[in-house]
Every structure is written in C-alpha cells, then in structure tokens.
Chains A and B, each alone.
Chain A
Amino acid sequence: MAYTLIASQTLLNPTATVTFSGIPQGFKDLMLEFNGGIVKAANIDSLLVQFNNDTGSNYSYTDLSGNGTTASSTRQSSATYFWCDVAATNLGLSSVSTFNVMSYANTNVYKTTLYREATAGNDTEARVSLWRSTTAITSIKLFPYTGSGFATGSTFKLWGVF
C-alpha cells in the first residue's frame, strides 16, 4: 500500500528535540504528522524543522494564513530552518501540522515541503518551504523556537509514500 508508517512516537515527558534519522530512501515522498504542543508560558510558539543537520541559511518559506480577522501572506528567505505556529502551554495540546516533503530522495531537485497547520484558538495556515539542496533527506530534526520542549502527549508520525 502507498502510505507506510516509518516511525511513530508519543512523548511521555517534555522533550527538547525530536529527530528522525536513518530515513529509508525507497519512497517517493515523506509525510510527517504532528499533534501536540510546546512547553512555554504563552499561547503560541513555533516548531522549527531542519533537514540532515543542515544549520546553514539554506531554507526559505512562504505562508498563507488567516486568524479570524485578517488573511495574510509572508515569506522568509535564506533562513536556517522553516517553521510553523504551534500551541504553547496556555492553549494545551491543540496544534495539528502535516508536512509533505515531496521527492525527498530525488537528487536532481531542491526539496520542497507543502504543509498545513491548524492551531485552535490562534489561526490556520498553509505553507511552502524550500531546502536548497539536491541531497536526499536522511534525517529530520524538530525543535521549539523559544519553548523548553514539546509537551507530554505530543505525537509525531513519519510516513513514507510510494
């Protein structure tokens, strides 16, 4: 079948960083699902994503979002990660994000990710990001922007799509 669960984890404790490494190369796309929150005394923090331990300024992203009052679109070039909003402690485990990393193992293309984020009580977003590398993706690192970690009960699922 087309969608194969590669790995899944539900956090038993607050966790600073979650990394998927040794990703199998036999799929067409990857789909990463996040459902949870970040530990921080606030409503919102951000979930940051890096590929293959690349901390260089090789990422960019564009978003389309609505917060119930305003629809907006912003972009960032030459960043050291791409990101999305995630609920922090005040809003509980109320964020769902789905990242589609297209042609992740294709060494002829830069890697483009399509993702949707929904955070109850904050906003809804669609985003596209670019990692300027033709290297196949073998690891994905996720970590909070300013929070101390992902909240207990947050779930992460990595799917391979044939």
Chain B
Amino acid sequence: MSIKSMSSGNRSISMLAGQTPEHHVLIGDVTVGAGGTASITFSNIDQSYQHLQIRGIARSSVSAESDAFRIRLNGDAGNNYARHILYGNGASVYSMAASSANLGTASGAVTGSTATANTFGVFILDILDYSSTAKNKTLRSIYGFDYNSTVSEIGLTSSLWMNSSTAVTSMNLFTGSSSNIVQFSTIQLYGVK
C-alpha cells in the first residue's frame, strides 16, 4: 500500500510493512453464526501473559435500541464485582455505578434489534494483571455506538472483580437482557506481553 502526502506536488512513501511488535498475541477468536448465541466463553486462558485485551463488535437480539454487555470471570456469579461508567449520548453526560454486583461490565452498551440495520456496538476491554494471585482484578473499557440519529453513546467503564487470590482462567460475555448475541458479532481475545 502507499501513503500519499499531497502538498504542492510532494509525494513520499514510507513503508515499514511487516514490522510486528511482539506485545499482543491473538489467543481467542469468535464470530457468531446464524441463529446467534446466548454467550461467548473463553476458557483455559493461557497464564503466560501480563494482561488481556478483548476487542469486539456486538449486537443483541433484544427488542430495544441498545443492551448492556456483561462479563463474568471464572464463572463467579457471586456479588464480587463493582463497576463505574461515564458516558455521553450526544446531548448529556452521565455517570453510573454499582457495588457488590454479580457481574462486571465489558461494554456499557451494544446495539439492539431495533437499532439501525448493520450497526453494531464496539468495545475494547483491558484486564490488567489478570494472572496475579495478589491483586483484585481491574477491567477498563472504551465503548460506543452511533446510529446517525438521536440515539448514540460513547463511554468509558471500569470494573473490579474482588478476587485477589485467583488468576483469571475463563471469561463469559453476554448481554444484560440475557438476549442472544446476533450473527456477525465478533470478539477477539489477546494476550499482552
């Protein structure tokens, strides 16, 4: 490919194709097929990395314009999570919080079935020091969706899994309404060195 810089006819090409920083490694990849799925699970997570990153696009089958997108670690459904969300909807800024919750937040929201066709909510979620047995696990994400209408959302989240003695070995991602994650949703899990 090329980079063209147009300024009084100047043209320069600078390519470093193939340079591969050895920090992120793809260790899980799910694309939802026809019919959708209730949840996406990554299990037996390799413990040799420093952090984890989850990148995804998702849409819910809920009969609404948006749906929350949640996460549970190691199958823990106890009240061992806390979360904070800061988001804007194009008109106002909001902040929300929950403590002693039984799930964390992967993305503040993804699109629902009544959203503009072909639109998916997107998010990038980091879990820092996931393999530590001496720290509670902190999750952070940036997320958003836009429908080219009066419905949109851009936000930042932080979640806490209050389990300092156990490394994260599995994660389960699902919608807040318990509706299906629909076809063409795709989520990748990366180990970060």
Q: Which of B14-35 contact A (CB under 8 A)?
A: 14-26, 29
Segment of A19-27, A43-51, A87-95 in the binding face: A19-27
User: B106 contacts the other chain (Cβ, under 8 Å)?
Assistant: no
In this assembly, does A161 line the interface, its C-beta being within 8 Å of a C-beta of chain B? yes
Does A103 lie within 8 Å of B186, measured CB to CB?
yes
Given known contacts A3-B20, A9-B3, A110-B118, is B26 in contact with A64 (CB within 8 Å)? Answer: no
A105 and B140 alpha carbons, distance in the complex (Å): 26
- CB of B149 closer than 8 Å to a CB of A: yes
Chain A residues within 8 Å of B156, by CB = 64, 126
Interface of A is mostly: strand
Verify B87–A64 contact, CB threshold 8 A.
yes
Q: Which residues of A contact B149 (CB under 8 A)?
A: 77
Q: With A7-B1, A7-B14, A130-B119 in contact, do A73 and B23 touch (Cβ < 8 Å)?
A: no
For B139-161 the 0/1 string (1 means CB < 8 A from A) is 00011111111101111100000
Q: How many A-B residue pairs have CB under 8 A?
A: 197
Residues of B within 8 Å of A112, CB to CB, are 57, 119-122, 144-146
- Is B75 among interface residues, defined by CB-CB distance under 8 A? no
* Chain B residues touching A, range: 35 or more
> In angstroms, how far is the closest chain B Cβ from the Cβ of A73?
3
Instruction: Give the distance to chain A from B187, nearest Cβ to Cβ, in Å.
Output: 10
Known: A5-B19, A17-B6. A75 touches B143 (CB 8 A): no
Establish whether residues B5 and A11, one from each chain, have CB atoms under 8 Å apart when the complex forms.
Answer: yes
Q: A12-B12, A112-B119 are in contact. Are A72 and B93 (CB under 8 A)?
A: yes
B51 in the interface (beta carbon within 8 A): no
Q: Which of B7, B55, B89, B123 contacts A161 (CB 8 A)?
A: B55
Among residues of B, the one whose C-beta sits closest to the C-beta of A12 is B12
Size bracket, chain A contacts: 35 or more
Residue-wise, chain B 29-50 has the 8 Å CB interface mask toward A (1 for contact) of 1000000000000000000000
Which residues of A lie under 8 Å from residue B17 when comparing CB positions? 5-7
CB distance from B129 to the nearest CB of A (A): 19
Which positions 108-162 of chain A face chain B at CB distance < 8 Å?
Answer: 108-110, 112, 114, 116, 126-130, 132, 134, 149, 156, 161-162
Contact A16 B3 (CB under 8 A): no
Query: Any chain B CB within 8 A of the CB of A53?
Result: no
Identify 25 residue pairs between A and B in the complex whose beta-carbon atoms are under 8 Å apart, listed by A's number: A7-B16, A10-B14, A13-B7, A15-B7, A19-B5, A21-B3, A23-B1, A64-B156, A71-B93, A73-B87, A77-B149, A100-B124, A102-B57, A106-B57, A109-B119, A109-B184, A112-B122, A114-B122, A126-B155, A126-B156, A128-B122, A128-B145, A128-B153, A129-B146, A162-B26
Could you tell me which A residues sit within 8 Å of B by CB distance?
1-24, 28-29, 60-64, 71-75, 77-78, 100, 102-103, 106, 108-110, 112, 114, 116, 126-130, 132, 134, 149, 156, 161-162
